[in-house]
Chains A and B, each alone.
Chain A
Amino acid sequence: MILVVVTAAAADRVSEALRAGLGLGLRGDPVEVLLVGPAAELAARGAGGDPRVARALATLELLGRPARAVSRDEALAAAGRARAVEVWSDPAPATRRLVLRRGGEAIELDPRALDSRLVAEQILEADGVFLL
């Protein structure tokens, strides 16, 4: 499963994340879109909110894969099960955390504090990875 987690507050970023969520399904892969915090609040405004967000949400629903509002913990748990994860934030985090899954365990590291070659090797050796 490909997971799109939207934590952004700005309508521009939320609508772009939803567009990504729609686009990622074009090759037939199962895609799940989860809305957290301010993104969920924005989405809850429905037709009275941003029209781009409302349109994208309606299209996801029409395609049978509606976006769901969840807690941050639920989103993190889903990220641990996903084959690929995109976390859409706003603004980009000042400190990035790379979460590596290996043998049923999750390891976090700061990718900017390490040599890029080492980071690449860790990613390639992991069972799964996502960036926060």
Chain B
Amino acid sequence: MGKKIAIVVSTAPDSGDLDAAFDLARAARACGAEVAMFFMSDALPGLPARRRELSALAEDGCELAVCAASAAAHGLGEEEIGLPLGGQDDHAAMVSRADRVVSFT
């Protein structure tokens, strides 16, 4: 089994961090790593426009979770994001299990 990478994104869509995080996730999967991604805070407004990429990452085996409190704060639900909503426990679990954490926060 490959190493586990957790990628956390909390910055606004105009930062370019979401692009970098998706690129890193795809590259890490190509290297045989397990990838988990957690999205919270200001990253949420960028997710509805990236549903297709999120879906492709999930199909490629990435574990994806979204902070429900952040989604609610931005008026977003599961339908808009296309992912089940989770919480800080997902964040803690992903970071706890990971061999490496890359945090775009």
Contacts and interface: CB of A to CB of B under 8 A. Distances in A.
Interface residues of B, number: 40
A42 interface: no
A116 B27 contact: yes
Contacts of B96: 2, 27-29
B92 A27 contact: yes
21 contacts: A2-B96, A16-B70, A17-B105, A20-B91, A23-B87, A86-B101, A91-B12, A91-B15, A111-B20, A120-B5, A120-B27, A120-B30, A120-B33, A123-B24, A123-B100, A124-B2, A124-B28, A124-B33, A124-B100, A129-B100, A129-B101
Contact of A131 (B16, B70, B91, B103): B103
Given A24-B91, A92-B104, A129-B102, A124 B40 contact: no
B103 to A, nearest CB: 4
Interface of B: 2-3, 5-6, 8, 10-12, 15-17, 20, 23-24, 26-28, 30-31, 33, 40-42, 69-70, 87-89, 91-93, 95-96, 98, 100-105
B40 A16 contact: yes
A86 B31 contact: no
B77 to A, nearest CB: 20
A24 B92 contact: yes
Contact of A117 (B8, B11, B31, B41): B31
B92 A26 contact: yes
Contacts of B27: 115-117, 119-120
Contacts of B93: 27
Given A27-B92, A111-B20, 14 more contacts: A2-B96, A13-B42, A23-B88, A23-B92, A24-B91, A26-B88, A87-B105, A89-B105, A96-B17, A120-B24, A120-B28, A123-B28, A123-B102, A124-B28
Interface residues of A, number: 40
Contacts of A86: 8, 101, 103, 105
Contact of B88 (A22, A89, A115): A22
A116 B16 CA distance: 14
A38 B69 CA distance: 25
B10 A131 contact: no
Contacts of A131: 102-104
